[in-house]
Amino acid sequence: MSRKIKILLIVIVAALVATLAYYVPVWVSAPQPEVVPPVAPVPEKEQVTPAPQPAASAELVPTPRPPTPEVEALLQQAQAGDAVAQFNVARCYALGEGVDASREEFFRWCRMAAEQGVPQAQYTLGCCYRDGVGVTQDAALAEEWLGKAKAQGYPAAE
């Protein structure tokens, strides 16, 4: 080996030894975890009965979050029959904006808007029937709603 390589190896080994010399005392002197003696069993008459568990079939259902004030105002307009508001409520349920996402509520509000002639809602409803989103797939109804959107000149239905 050449002299330069030997010097380089010596420097590397010295660096490793110095690193180990620094850390080994820390490892050796590190506090050891305290050993806790096992707990003696509770006598039979003092044992506490565990709390009853819910039935296996009972599911924990999360509490739905209430609509935000903005969505609440939109819901009032939609319930009053405003077709654009109905489609916007459907969009909120589809994206979970201001309310918990729900495919069924999305479909319900989208159908209301589509029945009032909103072309984007008609197209979206046709896609729901075609893809089975919030409803069972139905090719005939999909074609019907997509056709209504196309008849109104909705670009995506072309």
- Contacting residues for 31 by C-beta, under 8 A, at least 6 apart: none
Per the domain annotation, does 53 fall within a domain?
no
pTM: 0.60
CATH at 89: 1.25.40.10
Q: How many domains does the chain have?
A: 1
Please tell me the distance from the alpha carbon of residue 76 to that of residue 80, in angstroms, as a whole number: 6
Average confidence (pLDDT) over 16-27: 55
Domain that holds residue 76: 69-157
Residue 4 backbone dihedrals phi, psi, to 5 degrees: -65, -40
Helices (H), 1-158: 3-29, 69-79, 83-95, 103-115, 119-131, 139-151
- Contacting residues for 130 by C-beta, under 8 A, at least 6 apart: 137, 139, 142, 146
Per the domain annotation, does 4 fall within a domain?
no
pLDDT digits 0-9 by tens, 32-90 = 555 555 555 555 555 555 656 655 555 666 677 888 999 999 999 999 999 999 999 99
